[in-house]
Amino acid sequence: MFKLELTDHKTLKSAFESIHKIVDEIVLSADSETLYLRALTRDHIMFVTMELNKTFFDEYQCDEPEQMFLDANEFYKMLKKAKSDDILELTINESGVNIILKGKGTRRFNLTFLDFSYDNPVPPKIECPCNIRISSSLLKEYIDNMSDFSDRLIFQVDQDYFKILTDGQIGTAEIEYMHGENINESVSSQFSIPKLQDMLKSSKFSEECQVNIGNDMPLVLRLDLVTGDGYLEYLLAPRIDESN
Amino acid sequence: MFKLELTDHKTLKSAFESIHKIVDEIVLSADSETLYLRALTRDHIMFVTMELNKTFFDEYQCDEPEQMFLDANEFYKMLKKAKSDDILELTINESGVNIILKGKGTRRFNLTFLDFSYDNPVPPKIECPCNIRISSSLLKEYIDNMSDFSDRLIFQVDQDYFKILTDGQIGTAEIEYMHGENINESVSSQFSIPKLQDMLKSSKFSEECQVNIGNDMPLVLRLDLVTGDGYLEYLLAPRIDESN
Amino acid sequence: MFKLELTDHKTLKSAFESIHKIVDEIVLSADSETLYLRALTRDHIMFVTMELNKTFFDEYQCDEPEQMFLDANEFYKMLKKAKSDDILELTINESGVNIILKGKGTRRFNLTFLDFSYDNPVPPKIECPCNIRISSSLLKEYIDNMSDFSDRLIFQVDQDYFKILTDGQIGTAEIEYMHGENINESVSSQFSIPKLQDMLKSSKFSEECQVNIGNDMPLVLRLDLVTGDGYLEYLLAPRIDESN
């Protein structure tokens, strides 16, 4: 028996606003406690983890572990059909997953499972020295601001500030944000702006996000649900410039 | 003397949101009682009728029958220029129709009559056994939901439900809507999704619509003005699959 | 020392909504009293002047005259980044202009000065006999209404009316607006619709604008800030038809 029921489908949708941009095919997994997804992008530059606990759902029944092989974009399209007062139900039959929207009528969309083999990848453990918290929508805006200048930017953290820097042909850009954390180091890493923009498409998943940075280390961006019922986490490899 | 005056130009505009998508050239006809339009699409698959009674207008003067040969898209563009508190006036001169918008200033647009011959087609009489009523915007949404799966869908009516079904490469979709009508048959017909979408572009013409269905019979979709002052009606030929 | 501070950056942005469409490269000049810009379009058909007095700014310091050679589009992009409660600051360093946005964080964008020589052009003095005032957004809408018909229109002013006329293949359009001014002449000039549309992109600079018209004379369109702190003025050469 597999049946999940959900009124807060906006949060699930917001996770897929980014996921469907990052990966084409996904495995949505479920065990008795959690609905989860782990995916590595084809270019091996980004890793995304989504976990939604049993408690996140209005009803959660998963008697044995399930793996749903799906087209990320098609699944996202189904989530987008939900209206604010619809109840979303997920069930499984032999051929695919049912996305059922219960409102004035009942809309049942069955997405056929894709046929591919897959080992659920294990996310690498990254421990960066500096961790700051910032509004997700603010970070999204800051990164969008940088894209007029270049396709890469530098995240810097020191005692007082979280800084975002870039430069290009038209000039330079520098954003300073007082982080208010207890940090005693200075670190700096460079990342791809389009990849960051893809990640921040899920900025509505949670109001606040955690940014974890080291020296030429991968970025960890984590959005925790304020209820503690789940999270969305991205790992992004740094961009190391060969020259210049 | 031909002069029509109208404050509710939104309704007229909403009719043309669909009409200008369906037919290129129209004949807008008027007699002493009614402004009307009947048009068959070039591919002979759809027929549209619009009737707006004298009572729909704030002023209606039509001393002798008139026929206005117009480009549907250009006429729609003129209607779109009206702002909510404008009064719309239609008059005729030797060269074309005047669409006059009276607001802070007076805007007079004269569209030159097209030069083509035309016999006002008579809509075929269709009597389908099953007739259900449904919110126009809901039906529009249901049909839009189907377009991710296929370019055709099936309308089914039985004792309790109005069902919309489709399937395609990505999976299957089924919408169940409890119709609440007194129906004792089961019928089913298949239609083109893009054609249905074109029709439902006029969903704002009336909050509710009537869907008239039989077995492999044409669909009749009718939107009546709640005031009884007119209606918009579509006939759509069924799509009969040669092979499965 | 050059430092300008501004909370009403919306007005500055609205000026550039038009300017960045009209000219590619601009010289933004400042003296002890005024921030100003004068630019002639490459085709010599339009001239734009912007003047913002010291009093328009929350802080205005300009010890010696400055000239900022900038890409109009890039500068506009920076202005667009400002959020409604940001404070905008303009300063200069050796390489370019700083557009600093102070909100939750501080965003500093430095646009590199362009390298070109330039003599600040002097706008020709035009004295047209007829001057009328009209809502900027209304005039914008009127002009947009004309673009379905043609790429040129005629402005006419007589004792009672300001008229806008055009015609094309699909028909004719005529707008009558009662101007309420004391005018004893009849004048008429023809202008390019796309050029007028470019000008009116700045319709939000001021609620009301002044339209100055003569017989086959350039148009002067002027938007004054209601506070008296500055203005935006356009000169547009008339379109003289060789043949009919």
Query: Closest approach of chain C CAs to the CA of B99, in angstroms?
Result: 9
Are B6 and B30 in contact, with CB atoms under 8 Å apart? Answer: no
Tens digits of per-residue pLDDT, A114-138? 988 777 788 888 888 899 999 999 9
C-beta atoms of B173 and A109 within 8 A: yes
Query: Which residue in A has a C-alpha nearest to residue C104's C-alpha?
Result: A177
C-beta atoms of B105 and C138 within 8 A: yes
Query: Closest approach of chain C CAs to the CA of A198, in angstroms?
Result: 20
Q: How confident is the model at residue B242 (pLDDT cuts 50, 70, 90)?
A: low
pLDDT at C127: 82
DSSP one-letter string for A116-179: -----PPPPP---SEEEEEEHHHHHHHHHHHTTT-SEEEEEE-SSEEEEEEEETTEEEEEEEE-
pLDDT at B122: 83
Segment B134-145 shows an average pLDDT of 98
Are B132 and B179 in contact, with CB atoms under 8 Å apart? Answer: yes
Query: Which residue in B has a C-alpha nearest to residue A75's C-alpha?
Result: B170
C-beta atoms of C172 and B110 within 8 A: yes
Query: Which residue in A has a C-alpha nearest to residue C81's C-alpha?
Result: A145
pLDDT at A116: 82
Are C129 and C186 in contact, with CB atoms under 8 Å apart? Answer: no
- Give the best residue of B24, B69, B73, B104 to mutate against chain C (max C CB count within 10 A): B104
Backbone dihedral angles phi then psi of residue A155, each to the nearest 5 degrees: -95, 130
pLDDT at A244: 45
Q: H/E element holding B207?
A: none
List the single range of A33-42, A61-70, A76-85, C113-122 with lowest mean pLDDT.
Answer: C113-122
Tell me the average pLDDT of chain C.
95
Query: Closest approach of chain B CAs to the CA of C153, in angstroms?
Result: 14
* pLDDT(C244) > 50: no
List, in sequence order, every beta strand (DSSP E) within B41-195: 46-53, 59-62, 66-71, 87-92, 96-102, 106-112, 130-135, 152-157, 161-168, 171-178, 187-192
Amino acid letter, residue A238 = P
A135 touching C (Cβ < 8 Å): yes
B107 touching C (Cβ < 8 Å): yes
Tens digits of per-residue pLDDT, B194-205? 999 999 999 999
Distance CA C171, CA B69 (A): 13
* pLDDT(A164) > 60: yes
pLDDT at C126: 86
C104 touching A (Cβ < 8 Å): yes
Tens digits of per-residue pLDDT, B215-234? 999 999 999 999 999 999 99
Q: Which residues contact B156 (CB under 8 A, 6 or more apart)?
A: B162, B163, B164, B165, B186, B187, B188, B213
Distance CA A39, CA A50 (A): 9
Within 10 A of A161 (CB to CB), how many other CB atoms are there? Answer: 18
Nearest CB among C170, C171, C176 relative to B105 is that of C176
* Helix, strand, coil percentages in chain C from 3-state DSSP, rounded to 5: 20, 45, 35
C-beta atoms of B175 and A106 within 8 A: yes
Q: What DSSP character marks residue A205?
A: G
Rg (CA), chain C: 19
pLDDT at A242: 59
Rg (CA), chain B: 19
Segment B26-46 shows an average pLDDT of 95
Segment A164-191 shows an average pLDDT of 97
Query: Which residue in B has a C-alpha nearest to residue C178's C-alpha?
Result: B105
Percent of chain B having pLDDT more than 70? 99
Q: Hey, is C73 helix, strand or coil?
A: helix
Q: How confident is the model at residue A77 (pLDDT cuts 50, 70, 90)?
A: very high
Domains of chain A plus CATH, in order, are 2-112 (3.10.150.10), 130-236 (3.10.150.10)
Query: Which residue in C has a C-alpha nearest to residue B101's C-alpha?
Result: C175
Query: Which residue in A has a C-alpha nearest to residue B145's C-alpha?
Result: A81
Q: Hey, is C40 helix, strand or coil?
A: strand
Segment C35-64 shows an average pLDDT of 96
* pLDDT(C83) > 70: yes
Name chain B contacts of C177, Cβ cutoff 8 Å: 104-106
Tens digits of per-residue pLDDT, B145-164? 999 999 999 999 999 999 99
Tens digits of per-residue pLDDT, B104-123? 999 999 999 998 877 778 88
Are B69 and B25 in contact, with CB atoms under 8 Å apart? Answer: yes
Are B90 and B4 in contact, with CB atoms under 8 Å apart? Answer: yes
Distance CA A157, CA A184 (A): 10
Name chain A contacts of C106, Cβ cutoff 8 Å: 175-177
Nearest CB among B135, B145, B170 relative to A81 is that of B145
Tens digits of per-residue pLDDT, C193-217? 999 999 999 999 999 999 999 999 9
- Give the best residue of B73, B81, B86 to mutate against chain C (max C CB count within 10 A): B81
B147 touching A (Cβ < 8 Å): no
Which chains reach chain C with 3 or more Cβ–Cβ distances below 8 angstroms? A, B
State ipTM.
0.92
Q: How confident is the model at residue C15 (pLDDT cuts 50, 70, 90)?
A: very high
Residue C206: which of C37, C63, C10, C5 has the closest Cα?
C10
pLDDT at C221: 98
Tens digits of per-residue pLDDT, B49-78? 999 999 999 999 999 999 999 999 999 999
B55 touching C (Cβ < 8 Å): no
Q: Chain-centre distance of CA C181, in angstroms? A: 24
* pLDDT(C241) > 80: no
Strand order in the sheet with C66-71: C66-71, C25-30, C34-40, C46-53, C230-236, C219-224, C208-213, C130-135
pLDDT at C57: 98
Residue A166: which of B19, C109, C180, C122 has the closest Cα?
C109
- 3-state SS string for C6-25: ECCHHHHHHHHHHHHHHCCE
C-beta atoms of B175 and A105 within 8 A: yes
Whole-Å CA distances, B28 to A159, B90, B97, B218, B223: 74, 12, 10, 25, 19
